[in-house]
Structure 1
Amino acid sequence: MIKNYIKIAWRNLSRNKIHSFLNIAGLGVGMAVAMLIGLWIYDELTYNQAIPNYNHIAVVKQNQTFNGEVGTQSAVPYLMGDELRKSYGGDFKYVVTASWNHDHLLAFGEQKITKSGNYMEPQITDILSLKMLNGTRSGLRDKQSVILSASTAKALFGNADPMNKRIRIDHKFDVTVTGVYQDLPQNSDFNDLTFIAPWQLFIDNNNWSEKATNPWRNNSFLTFVQLADHADLNQVSAKIKDVKLKKVRPADAAFKPVIFLLPMSRWHLYAEFKNGVNVGGAIQYVWLFGLIGLFVLMLACINFMNLSTARSERRAKEVGIRKAIGSLRSQLVKQFFMESTMVAVFAFVCSILLAQLLLPYFNAVAGKQMHLLWGNVLFWLAGAGITVFTGLIAGLYPAFYLSSFQPAKVLKGTFKVGRLAAMPRQILVIVQFTISVVLIIGTMVVFRQVQFTKNRPVGYSRDGLLNVSVITDDIHKNFAAISQELKNTGAISAMAESSGEITSVNEVDNGFSWSGKDASVQGNFAVVYASHNYGKTIGWQVSAGRDFSENFLTDSTGIILNETAARFMGLKHPIGQTVNWDGKNFHIIGVIKDMVMQSPYSPVFRSVFVSDPNAQPIINIKINPRTSTHQALATIGEVFKKYNPAQPFNYQFTDEQYARKFGDEERVGKLASGFAGLAILISCLGLFGMASFMAEQRIKEIGVRKVLGASVLNLWGLLSKDFVKLIVISLLIAIPVSYYFMQGWLQNYQYRSTITWWIFAATALGAILITLLTVSYQSIRAALANPVKSLRAE
């Protein structure tokens, strides 16, 4: 019986080639989209899970209260790890203090490379369960050691054995390679951890314990833990919540620090906090794309339903004859399900080919390194399950609708599908285009929000501005000579040092007080150390007072505030006012217009700029606008290499750094626009098939109208208006729905655009034009047909 079902299904598919192609193509595209989204969701949901101790690893975080608002951060005092081991050691298997992951210069002889790495305590190798290719996990016990990832060892030593080789870090520390570990997976928060150096080496060379006058207030480091096997994370979090509060001074206790653990399972998808409460994060995108994948697959299923039921009159005689010779309705249902499942199988094969073809582009947009899981049994089981499920869903309505025909009426020729028979198909078309229009409007709102924020005034000039991260001291020691030489060549117009990049905040402090300060007012300030020409280099705008100047010796205790900081302090006339910072008095020499240094979607953070000739980590360079960028970079590179041969000349343009802040939103927009385009394509395939069938069904009516004098334009309008009506109804549903959801999405951003009327107008016009273009081919073809041929049978 099954063999008979398959044979008849194949005959029906091969007999109606265009109809079959539209069904297979529509389902294939829908399943390919679902497959790509499924791979992306799988990659997101399995983030960090390749680390064996995934369920027992956590990072120490803290909440602090400023003026009634709770802020959450991962940076904690460097003494946190020691205190957890000392007072709560029974709850933890390992506790590891670490610096932040940064780029560092690694040198072996003449070979020099820049790699991202970290200073960590030795137990990190056990927490991450590093797979050692050479050496053992105990390789960090010696503070003069280092362990490398396999890719870093390859880049530094080639095919030579790296073990026990001496390398130099940042032109400062000589260490011995004591281990090589397998690169950590791409879908891991440690994917860029390409080398690990001992924490003790970092401490000994920075003298934190000696320099820190108030070590429990300084939040500058990370602490990772692995819980003991018997420990419960929530209970341990409750135990340690006051560990910092017990150690800080009374003045800092006012910030109510609360320590807690965030498990690794929530680092990637649930990393967002608002007012101290974990409110989610990237998980919203998982849900979003999951729904998009489901909707696109549903659109493809709707196509199959529409095209199958639209041809009901052609299948009616077949059903009548089958019932007349004894076929049961259940047998007919199975036959139609077999046809839909066969289409789904062919579509699945096409979807795999299409997904493989689109995967490189999809990876580039999504920032992933995904691949089809050819050797994964679950992948094939899921594929088979989705194929069968799709076939059953797509064939559900046709199977029960077509099998319900009465044989007596069909064979007598009195069977008519009636006007109401088209209503389910019309409803499905409305659903199709409603989903497509919502996707299009959503994409336009996302792109508009990104563009609106990109055009936000940033308070400085990004044109021709670049920065170089300095690892050695050579540039700083020869700063004046380098600056003068580059100016003499005409390559640059200004150059300055600073403690951080202009597109980020590296240091935050709350130890500020000023005349008239309300004792109940608390607040963090971003602190940036900068050399004299910093303002001239980045092009900030002074709104009151003056810029830093080497002509004023008193600038060593001078500070500049941004306008937000001045307003927060309540200083109507800030110039000349005194600000006390950790017991030292500074005088305000200027106020600048607000600069966007953190998230471009958030209000500007209050900032303090301190004059410091030793602010050396970042070199900011303004390229001379009268010089070509290519020529200027070549000149700067030569001069830097002359004075700093130990470090490769690596630079970043500020406008590119700023653009990366929009990465998540732009990725969402690009992916959503791609899926919206495919949704429209699937919907149009369905429209094309229905228009073809409708034109064929009304061929004699068209012939009669032409004989009676109807023009091609009249006939085109007659055949197209029914579809346009459906699209208009879709628009009336989709516009308010999309407005509601996208307005809610925009509320996540404090600096946001508005949803304007032209977005809906443009989408409506586009949807109608696409519909007309899709159905016009069949409509015009039918209108141009010779009426003699269509009426000859009468």
Structure 2
Amino acid sequence: MRLFTIITRQLSRNRLYIFINLMGLSVAIAIGLLVYSFVVKEVQTDEFHRNGENIYRILGKEKSDDTYSSEHCGLLAPSVLRQISGIEDFVRIWPQSMEIKTEGMADFNAVETCFHADSAFFSVFTFPLVHGVFSQNLPFRWAVISERAAQKYFKDTDPVGQNVYVRSDMWFPKPIPYQVVAVMRNIPAWSTLQTDIVLDYRYTEQFTDWNNNFLSLTYVQLSPKNSVQTIEEDIKKFYAVVQPETEYQFKLQSLGSVYYHGENVEYSSDYKAPQGSLFLTRLLVGITLLIFFLSSCNYVMIKVVQSQHNLRMFAIQRCYGADNKSVWIHFLVETTVYFVLSGIIGICLARWLFPAFQEVITPGFHYPFPFSVASVFCFIGILCVFIVFISVSLSYYFLNRLNTGGIKESVDKKVSVFDLRKVLAFVSVAIFSLLFVTATIVNRQIGFLKNKDLGYSVENVLSVSGSNEVIKATLSGNPDILSVTSGSTPLPMEEPSFLKLTCQFDNGLMPEKAEIISGDADYLSTYRIQLLEGKNFDPATDPQNTGVIPLLVNQQFVRKSGLKQAVGTLFRGRTFDDEPFSNFKIIGIVKDFYAHPLYKEIDPLVISYSKGSYSHGFMNNDITTICYMPLKKTEVLQFLHENNLTCYYVYDYARLYGKEEAFMRLINIVAVIAIFIGGLGIFAFSVFFVASRKKEVALRKINGGTEWAIQRQLNRDFVVLTLWACLFSIPLGYYLISSWLEKFACRIELNWYFFILVALCCLTFVCLVVTWQIRKIVTLNPVECLKEL
């Protein structure tokens, strides 16, 4: 009780230091809670399935491909189940965006991502039912909806036994009824399978054949202790029998690795499983520990600043028989009190900031705050580690001074050669300088990506599904549409997979294959791609009649091929090794443009002429792209809707670089927090520094020193400390962020003056924090200062 009384008195006498400590620790704990909630969600993803360790996703690719496909022909799963031992069950999932309507709704006014799945969906995966009964081999088309969907579409009525109607402009233009047989619990946020409506797969099965209609995600449940490699080989052998013309490789990916190791997996449908990032998770944990360390340094620094008073108190207690144990207990209790008070404030702050944090770290995807006994005790355990670490550090520091110098030396005001306060101030400045330079580099790189000239324009451009002369004629008849083109979009997805054209010239093969896309005579004008030399496609020319396919090539193609006069060159080429060579002719050279996200350099590329149903070597050719007049977007969208044309945008920056944007927002927030906490520490140190130099300042003024000269002299210590901290932290920050920068083929150049500017910004911040305190003492009457001392 007496110890609490002493601590309470100390707290009441040092309100400024208490405020700084509580603010720093509270913000650190709040950030720790937010990051902890995210990390818990990440590590628990797909861990709740009872059979999770035996569930695998089938991935496949052709031998020449670099990435695996996650979707396969619907006939694959039931066929391999009959042919291969070791597979207990399978689930096919065909995810599609569907318009939804119930019997009580007047029209289809809602769109949901529905899963057409096999009936084994609820036995292989653990998605419990809360209402209704589900059984396999039902004689009608069934549907299972989530609690969320039940409330949304049926309100307070019982959905079981009622029908939901679905339709899709592309697949099911006529409404199809499905009878709701059960309601499942909402799928948790920590699942890579996310839907609110599961529909009977059997209806889509009638359209499925080995020509890969209705590509489906395929999961299998293996028998325990079966060899995964053996089953992979068996699937490969079976596929070689049914599709002998294709050399296909298969891989079984465990369910637990889908979330963190799906970066090299392609999806044919619009649905893409949630993708985690080990880099981001580790970064968050590291940043949180760094912020905890920064706030802990502030706390230790303030306690060291108050060391003279504490040393006297401990020295007096030792005179009355106190031992080292009393010092340990004192700091343990005091630190615990600070962390408990900060924890209460931090919890309230975390709950308040939780929605905003979700928008930053996982925009558009929300997850509940994980509150369980295990998670609470785990977080408390982490805090206890910091409490013990800080208590031990402070106790060691004070006991070392007390035991080394003795009681008399401890009571005397004397600054040791090794000033721990300056070391901790150096650490604070170094940490926020480190985060400041990394945040600056990340912001510059993201800004560079946004403003980079791609070599084509997507302003007032959008695409529609389907590509034929009827669609093109319909669109061309609208006066608000300037041009219409059929062919590949320049940047269609996160990681486009173009066909590769082997080029054979008179002097031999081109050392590097060229990517090939398709376009018609309006392709260049629609995307505003610059033609540098030669001519554009002639709409009157028919390649099938001439036997020579006209090509437009980019500048990189000319460089790699070594052609001195490219326009007019004839050569032979093919996209597959087992097909005959075709004749090509280069009719023009276009300016280089980025057909991949900016993670990759520009490759040699050719644009093959596409006319009507004819196209040689294309990707995503089943689309039509339009360029419309400025300020006519609303009218054009209304026209497309009236003609039942589904539109989408060509260049979706958020989709391509969404993770980088989240990373930038995260770094910015962390940098602001680090600057705030570090600023509090520097402010606390400057308060002590100024108070300890009052006598010096008074004597300097009495001896004729000017206010400017004295202020410059006192600022010099902080300037030197900041410059040393920047000299250490700025190169370290560049080294740490360089691995992130290296994944971009197009990245910013960092010159020496950039780092000088960053150091000046850090120096300006520190000077602004400390100059205020120094100015207060410099303007005081020296006589009054000496009287106080």
Specify if TM > 0.5: yes
2:787 corresponds to which of 773, 779, 792: 792
Q: Which residue of 1 aligns with 2:109?
A: 112
Residue type of the alignment partner of 2:638 = E
Per the normalisation by structure 2, the TM-score is 0.84
Q: Is the 8 A contact 1:240 1:259 kept in 2?
A: yes
Q: Equivalent residue of 1:184, what SS?
A: coil
User: How many Å apart are 1:166 and its aligned residue?
Assistant: 5.6
Q: Equivalent residue of 1:327, what SS?
A: coil
Query: Given the alignment of the two structures, is residue 454 of structure 1 paired with residue 456 of structure 2, yes or no?
Result: no
Query: Given the alignment of the two structures, is residue 288 of structure 1 paired with residue 283 of structure 2, yes or no?
Result: yes
**Once the two structures are aligned, what percentage of the paired residues are identical?**
20
User: How many Å apart are 1:36 and its aligned residue?
Assistant: 1.7
Q: Equivalent residue of 2:109, what SS?
A: strand
Kindly report the root-mean-square deviation, in angstroms, between the aligned alpha carbons of the 2 structures: 4.0
Q: Which residue of 1 aligns with 2:193?
A: 190
Q: Equivalent residue of 1:299, what SS?
A: helix
Q: Equivalent residue of 2:178, what SS?
A: strand
Q: Please, which moves more after superposition, 686-695 or 731-740?
A: 731-740
1:387 corresponds to which of 359, 383, 386: 383
Structure 2 CA distance for aligned equivalents of residues 124 and 84 of structure 1: 18
Structure 1 CA distance for aligned equivalents of residues 558 and 276 of structure 2: 32
Q: Which residue of 1 aligns with 2:320?
A: 325
1:164-207 superposed Cα distances (whole Å, 9 cap, x missing partner):
4262421435432233544423333222x3444455544534x6
Q: Please, which moves more after superposition, 543-552 or 304-313?
A: 543-552
Q: Equivalent residue of 1:61, what SS?
A: strand
Structure 2 CA distance for aligned equivalents of residues 664 and 695 of structure 1: 45
Structure 1 CA distance for aligned equivalents of residues 9 and 658 of structure 2: 50
User: How many Å apart are 1:457 and its aligned residue?
Assistant: 3.2
1:258-283 superposed Cα distances (whole Å, 9 cap, x missing partner):
32111122222233459xxxxx9821
1:493 corresponds to which of 479, 482, 498: 482
Q: Equivalent residue of 1:292, what SS?
A: helix
Residue type of the alignment partner of 2:767 = L
Q: Equivalent residue of 2:771, what SS?
A: helix
1:470-504 superposed Cα distances (whole Å, 9 cap, x missing partner):
7xx9x9856523541x31xxx33223455778432
Q: Is the 8 A contact 2:96 2:114 kept in 1?
A: yes
User: How many Å apart are 1:230 and its aligned residue?
Assistant: 3.9
Q: Which residue of 2 aligns with 1:18?
A: 16
Query: Given the alignment of the two structures, is residue 376 of structure 1 paired with residue 372 of structure 2, yes or no?
Result: yes
Structure 1 CA distance for aligned equivalents of residues 93 and 583 of structure 2: 33
Q: Equivalent residue of 1:111, what SS?
A: coil
Q: Is the 8 A contact 1:144 1:175 kept in 2?
A: no
Q: Is the 8 A contact 2:29 2:343 kept in 1?
A: yes
- Structure 2's unaligned 5+ residue stretches are 266-274, 614-619
User: How many Å apart are 1:70 and its aligned residue?
Assistant: 5.0
CA 1:140–1:617 in 2, change beyond 3 Å: closer, same or farther? farther
Q: Is the 8 A contact 1:113 1:156 kept in 2?
A: no
User: How many Å apart are 1:365 and its aligned residue?
Assistant: 0.9
Q: Is the 8 A contact 2:81 2:90 kept in 1?
A: yes
Query: Given the alignment of the two structures, is residue 130 of structure 1 paired with residue 127 of structure 2, yes or no?
Result: yes
Q: Is the 8 A contact 1:10 1:339 kept in 2?
A: no
Q: Which residue of 2 aligns with 1:722?
A: 717
CA 1:141–1:507 in 2, change beyond 3 Å: closer, same or farther? farther
Residue type of the alignment partner of 1:387 = L
Structure 2 CA distance for aligned equivalents of residues 79 and 165 of structure 1: 28
User: How many Å apart are 1:624 and its aligned residue?
Assistant: 0.5
CA 1:793–1:146 in 2, change beyond 3 Å: closer, same or farther? closer
Q: Which residue of 2 aligns with 1:54?
A: 52
Query: Given the alignment of the two structures, is residue 263 of structure 1 paired with residue 230 of structure 2, yes or no?
Result: no
User: How many Å apart are 1:740 and its aligned residue?
Assistant: 2.4
Write out aligned runs for 1:298-697 (5 A): 298-367=293-362, 368-373=365-370, 375-404=371-400, 406=402, 415-416=411-412, 418-420=414-416, 423-469=419-465, 480-484=473-477, 486-487=478-479, 491-496=480-485, 502-504=491-493, 533-542=522-531, 547=536, 550-554=539-543, 560=551, 563=554, 592-604=590-602, 611=610, 613=612, 618-625=623-630, 628=631, 632-644=632-644, 651-655=647-651, 657-697=652-692
Q: Equivalent residue of 1:365, what SS?
A: helix
Q: Is the 8 A contact 1:319 1:403 kept in 2?
A: no
Q: Is the 8 A contact 1:242 1:258 kept in 2?
A: no
Q: Is the 8 A contact 1:233 1:261 kept in 2?
A: yes
1:725-768 superposed Cα distances (whole Å, 9 cap, x missing partner):
22211112113322322233323333333333233222211111
Residue type of the alignment partner of 1:27 = L
CA 1:328–1:458 in 2, change beyond 3 Å: closer, same or farther? same
Equivalenced residue count is 752
1:602-627 superposed Cα distances (whole Å, 9 cap, x missing partner):
234656656264789645332203xx
User: How many Å apart are 1:77 and its aligned residue?
Assistant: 5.4
Q: Equivalent residue of 1:504, what SS?
A: coil
Structure 2 CA distance for aligned equivalents of residues 660 and 144 of structure 1: 35
User: How many Å apart are 1:549 and its aligned residue?
Assistant: 5.7
Structure 2 CA distance for aligned equivalents of residues 64 and 235 of structure 1: 19
2:767 corresponds to which of 739, 763, 772: 772
Structure 2 CA distance for aligned equivalents of residues 36 and 436 of structure 1: 20
CA 1:407–1:117 in 2, change beyond 3 Å: closer, same or farther? closer
Q: Please, which moves more after superposition, 669-678 or 383-392?
A: 383-392
CA 1:604–1:259 in 2, change beyond 3 Å: closer, same or farther? farther
Q: Is the 8 A contact 1:459 1:593 kept in 2?
A: yes
CA 1:304–1:188 in 2, change beyond 3 Å: closer, same or farther? same
User: How many Å apart are 1:599 and its aligned residue?
Assistant: 2.7
Structure 2 CA distance for aligned equivalents of residues 668 and 685 of structure 1: 26
User: How many Å apart are 1:379 and its aligned residue?
Assistant: 3.4
1:528-581 superposed Cα distances (whole Å, 9 cap, x missing partner):
6x6764443333344566555654454799575653678889985677656556
Per the normalisation by structure 1, the TM-score is 0.83
1:712 corresponds to which of 707, 711, 730: 707
User: How many Å apart are 1:296 and its aligned residue?
Assistant: 0.8
- Structure 1's unaligned 5+ residue stretches are 275-279
